Structure 1
Amino acid sequence: MSGGVDSAVAAARAVDAGHDVTGVHLALSRTPGTLRTGSRGCCTIEDSRDAWRAADVLGIPYYVWDFSERFQADVVDDFVAEYAAGRTPNPCLRCNEKIKFAALLEKALALGFDAVCTGHYAKVVQDADGRRELHRAADWAKDQSYVLGVLTAEQLEHVLLPLADTPSKAEVRAEAARRGLSVAQKPDSHDICFIPDGDTRGWLAERIEMREGEIRDVEGTVVGTHPGANAFTVGQRKGLRIGTPAPDGKPRFVLEIRPKTNEVVVGPESMLAVDELRGIRPSWAGAPVPEAAPVLRPGAAAGEASASFPVLAQVRAHGDPVAARAHLELVEGDGGAPLPELVVRLEEPLRGVAPGQSVVLYQGTRVLGQATVDRAHSLARPDVAGGSGAGR
């Protein structure tokens, strides 16, 4: 129970369904803020009190579990390391993967609970063989299946999502008000919970050594300087402070981050369009598609590839899905063992996809799985000068 209206109503519906429900609030920081900053952030002391009040109204036990060390290591430190490597991570997705449906679920199962119930807007259904699948929620405007794309088949066996078929957030708020829950009109949290003031660049500057470096155009010409490449992200326009205008007078955008040389590459907006994504660490939200079987079998060797299969690819939590075809390729890992790489070829280009983002695959409303974008590029144009591919 985060202290918000969604988890409070989810808990209430679980009680109504006859489940033996215990409310748990996750303490994710050893020094949580006392008050929220508007609707920014979550998991503050104020939020824990709101969750306690909701549990009291529902008549269920309530506990605060300290996961601050796991959250620091698996989410915050990972966030810093990804930016230091020139990538742009999604910490909410990582929190679901490592904390809410790993650390929390592991502890719950060890204590004898059957499932973790949350207020996420997504749906778990069973296929004809009784296997669980993850699907979009009824309210596509609030759908959160993207950030749950990291869930595995084993985790889906122990997940309850009571808000799956709710047609709108307004209905959830109205229900909370009818139940006498004080969080009925509480604003939604947004942005990164551990950066409640929203100043990601300033927060990173305190944790990553920022060194002044060069800004280059696609031909390799130096067009300006920057205070630290790690604070930029692909697709960024503001904050470049380039003194020399582009020959056509149009704005320039970040095309690539090169952490090894501390360089930022900029170019026209048209060069942000990519039509092939290559993702590492792919995972399946349920049973893998049949086409993947040859690559996933024991003994498969580097160089083997699966047949392609149709998908809808989504690279942002509330982005529009794009039709594509995907396949798996086995590549040689650092230790020599073959590792699967997800290749997604888009039927329509996507703009400004950054390494570190997650690409989540769908077929209809079903979530197939996801991978972390390692490279994003256009098959129709060469790489920018001096680089090894946009996103590398």
Structure 2
Amino acid sequence: MPADSSRPGPGRSAVVVGGGIGGLAAAVGLHRTGWRVTVLERAPEPREAGAGISLLTNAQRALDLLGLGDAVRANAAVMAPGGEGLRLASGRRLQPPADPAFLRERGLSLLVLTRPALHGLLRAALPDGALRTGAAVTRVVDQGGSAVAFHRTPEGEQAVSGDLVIAADGAFSAIRSALWPQVPPPVYSGHSVWRGIAEGVDSAAEPGGSTWGRGLEFGRMPLGGDRVYWFAVANTPEGRRFPDEHAEVLRRFGSWHQPVPALIAATPLGGVLRHDVFELAQPLPGYVSGRVAVLGDAAHAMTSDLGQGACQALEDAAVLCAVLAAQDDIPRALADYDEQRRPRSQSIVEASRRMGELKLTERPWQLLRRNARMRRTQPRASQQGLAMVGDWHPPALPEPAAVAAARPGEAR
């Protein structure tokens, strides 16, 4: 199969399938460590939809390795993980906020920004022409010393080849299904999430926090600029939709403690997004097949109950770029990526599932037991759990690659 005629000169090259957070991050990191990258995104235009997103310290450190940490910080608000702590719908406290001294000791914080802003920063860090939209990949072929991604265009099927293909094509990844047909597709978690951004509110006075109810959760995070990002979770039948999602959120959460009703009321009527949450219930036996590596939701789709979906995708991207920069043997580097990423990310998938089962319980006796358990939990235990997720460090880049990542203009 002839290589894509647009491939420039000698050097290592990669094809990234999917222009979401993980795929773009991997492309940026590879570009800044000397690779030529092509990103194939099936959507006709770059992704702009979305409300807010929070990035725990582990994701921030991944962004630093990729050369994007400072740019993201400049566009984000900062809050303490967990905010003011955990409350019940009445406002009664279940857990206090994390100890500020512990957070400082471990360097733990949350960056909060809008998803479109993060997407925009990732796209801006790519070289001109690297992102191709309207390119729906139909299949990937491992040719031993290279890999080829075939995609549809108005002119017919085209092929783009590289030294490897990175499959970042989302939770319902077609590439994952082709490589591991024995692994079932993602399953519905049992709950849906609404997301919105309240406008014209005093975000400086909002510490953030979470509230649990009966099969319900409401979280809030300051965005800055008189905006607060919020999310609302409920156990719902798969695929159920409401004529007015904004009104449905207000119906479910409008009687909760302030500022929950006020934030919902301050959200534009057309600004409430809704999606069902799916997870990969059966873990993949590997994240690599030949010269194809899966990344992000394609590798480990998880619930949003720990807020780690995008964070783990960024970890994937950072580790993949680091191991590929560390050695010329691509199959060996991909094996290192699988060895480093699969145990951690799959353990976080399971932890996120367990957290969702705990906080979204509905039976009265289970609610009583849940609330009693949360009140009995010592702050240090909760903080150690937070550190296990957030206090992660990516592998170091080799010195020449580290210099190139620090000077993105020279890598273009």
What is the TM-score of this pair, normalised by structure 1?
Answer: 0.24
Where relative contact order (Cα < 8 A, 6+ residues apart) is larger, the structure is 2
What is the TM-score of this pair, normalised by structure 2?
Answer: 0.23
Q: Which is richer in helix?
A: 2
